[in-house]
C-alpha cells in the first residue's frame, strides 16, 4: 500500500485499480483544507496515469464521511470574504478533478455521507452502498448552502429532489438514495467489498480505452442539441474507435468468438 498521508491512503494493484481511502475514522472521515489538497493531488496524479483504469473511493471506519471538519469550519467562519472564496474554490477544484477523471470511478459507501461527502459520491460514475449507508445535505442546518457540490448533486438526483433536500436537510437512506439516482447498488454491509470487486470485474472485461471514451461521451453529449454538429461529432467518435487498436481487437474477438486481449 502506498500512503499519500496517514489521513488518505492510496493503493494500486496489478489490475490497474487504484483505491483511495479516507482514513480519519475518529473524525468520521470529515475533510479539511489539508485533506482537500491531498485529494486534489491524488486525483490529478491518477488522471494522468494510463496504467490505472478504475478508481475506488472508500473510507475506513463507521462513516463514509461527515463532510467538512468542524475545526476547519470554525476557522472558515473567521475568514474574510476573499479568503472564503479562495477556500471554497479549492474544494470546487477538487470536486471537478474527481468528476472529470478519465478512469471509471466507484464510490464505496459503507455508512453516513453528509454534506460535502454527498458531493464526493455524486462525482463518481458508480455508487455502491451498504444498507447502513445514509445521506444528508445538511448545510442549511447551520445556515449554509451546498454550493460547491451543487452541480454534481443536481446532476445525480435531479432539480426537483435537490430543491427539496437542499432546503430540508432531511436524512435519507440507501433505498431512497437509489430511488433518487444517487446510489446504483445496495448490499448488506458484509457484502459491500465483494460487490465492488464484482463491479470491477465487470468493468475490466470491457475495453479500457472504450470505457474512457464512453465516459467522456456521456459527459460531452449530455444536454446538447441534436443538430448537424452533434451528428458529425458522434460519427467521428465511433469511426475513430472502430479503427483503433482496441476497437479492432474487440471486433475481431467478437466475430472469432473468443475473449478479447485487452
Delimit the domains of the chain by residue range.
Answer: 2-204, 208-255
pLDDT of residue 71: 87
Q: What are phi and psi for residue 173, nearest 5 degrees?
A: -105, 180
Q: What does the pLDDT average to over 15-32?
A: 97
- Radius of gyration (Cα) for the chain, nearest Å? 19
Question: Residue 248: how many CA atoms within 13 Å on its side-chain side?
Answer: 4
| Grid cell 479503427 in the structure block, residue | 243
Q: What is the pLDDT of residues 64-84, one digit of tens each?
A: 999 989 888 888 888 899 989
How does the average pLDDT of the chain come out, rounded? 95
**Under CATH, what is the fold of the domain 2-204?**
2-enoyl-CoA Hydratase; Chain A, domain 1 (3.90.226)
Tally Cβ neighbours within 10 Å of residue 69.
23
Asked if pLDDT for residue 4 goes beyond 70, the answer is: no
Amino acid at each position: 500500500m502506498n500512503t499519500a498521508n496517514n489521513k488518505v491512503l492510496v493503493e494500486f494493484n496489478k489490475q490497474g485499480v487504484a483505491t483511495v481511502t479516507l482514513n480519519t475514522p475518529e473524525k468520521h472521515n470529515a475533510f479539511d483544507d489539508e485533506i482537500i489538497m491531498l485529494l486534489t493531488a491524488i486525483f490529478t496524479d491518477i488522471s494522468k496515469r494510463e496504467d490505472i483504469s478504475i478508481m475506488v473511493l472508500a473510507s475506513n471506519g463507521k462513516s463514509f464521511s461527515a463532510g467538512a471538519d468542524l475545526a476547519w469550519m470554525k476557522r472558515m467562519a473567521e475568514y474574510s470574504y476573499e479568503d472564503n472564496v479562495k477556500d471554497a474554490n479549492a474544494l470546487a477544484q477538487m470536486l471537478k478533478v474527481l468528476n472529470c477523471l478519465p478512469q471509471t470511478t466507484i464510490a464505496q459507501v459503507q455508512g453516513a455521507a453528509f454534506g460535502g461527502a454527498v458531493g464526493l459520491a455524486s462525482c463518481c460514475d458508480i455508487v455502491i452502498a451498504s444498507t447502513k449507508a445514509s445521506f444528508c445535505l445538511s448545510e442549511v442546518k447551520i445556515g449554509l448552502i451546498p454550493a460547491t457540490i451543487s452541480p454534481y448533486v443536481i446532476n445525480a438526483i435531479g432539480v426537483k429532489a435537490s430543491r427539496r433536500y437542499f432546503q430540508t436537510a432531511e436524512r435519507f437512506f440507501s433505498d431512497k438514495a437509489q430511488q433518487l439516482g444517487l446510489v446504483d447498488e445496495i448490499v448488506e454491509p458484509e457484502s459491500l467489498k465483494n460487490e465492488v470487486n464484482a463491479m470491477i470485474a465487470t468493468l475490466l472485461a470491457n475495453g479500457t480505452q472504450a470505457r474512457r471514451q464512453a465516459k467522456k461521451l456521456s459527459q460531452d453529449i449530455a444536454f446538447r442539441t441534436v443538430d448537424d454538429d452533434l451528428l458529425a461529432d458522434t460519427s467521428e467518435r465511433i469511426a475513430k474507435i472502430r479503427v483503433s487498436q482496441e476497437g479492432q481487437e474487440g471486433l475481431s474477438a467478437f466475430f472469432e468468438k473468443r475473449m478479447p486481449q485487452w
